[in-house]
Amino acid sequence: MSEADLWDGLAVPPGLCRWCAHPSLNRTRHGVTYMRCTRSSWDERLPRYPGLPVVECVGFEQAGG
Ligand code: SF4
């Protein structure tokens, strides 16, 4: 499954996380897609599972930059 398909599988739009370098997407065997913020593992300001859509984030960094 492509990353774009995983993004499309989220129940709500991800907002900023879609364009950030730090999200990790997973789909359970029940077909539920969820997004984890990998930056939260070392940046204590961020939640492991941010409430979506994220509209403002101190940890945002443009993906692929
Ligand atoms: S750092 Fe912020 S914008 Fe980036 S994935 Fe985490 S919560 Fe989303």
Q: What is the 3-state secondary structure (H, E, C) of 13-40?
A: CCEHHHHECCEEEEECCCCCEEEEEHHH
Query: Is residue 31 a part of any domain in this protein?
Result: yes
Query: Is residue 64 a part of any domain in this protein?
Result: no
- Residue range 13-30: average pLDDT? 97
| Tally of domains within the chain | 1
- Residue 56 DSSP SS3: coil
Q: What is the pLDDT of residue 54?
A: 98
What distance lies between CA 42 and its chain's CA centroid?
16
- Residue range 17-29: average pLDDT? 97
What is the distance between the alpha carbons of residues 21 and 37, in angstroms, rounded to a whole number? Answer: 9
Q: What is the pLDDT of residue 51?
A: 97
Which token pair is 37?
């913020």
What is the distance between the alpha carbons of residues 36 and 18, in angstroms, rounded to a whole number? Answer: 12
Kindly report, residue by residue over 35-65, the tens digit of the pLDDT. Answer: 999 999 999 999 999 999 999 999 999 998 6
Domain that holds residue 38: 1-57
What's the 36 CA to ligand 1 centre distance in angstroms? 9
Query: Is residue 1 a part of any domain in this protein?
Result: yes
Query: Is residue 16 a part of any domain in this protein?
Result: yes
Query: Is residue 63 a part of any domain in this protein?
Result: no
Q: What is the pLDDT of residue 65?
A: 61
Query: Is residue 8 a part of any domain in this protein?
Result: yes
Q: What is the mean pLDDT of the chain?
A: 96
Query: Is residue 62 a part of any domain in this protein?
Result: no
Q: Which residues line ligand 1 (CB under 6 A)?
A: 16-17, 20, 22-23, 37, 39, 46, 50, 54, 57, 59-60
Q: What is the pLDDT of residue 1?
A: 83
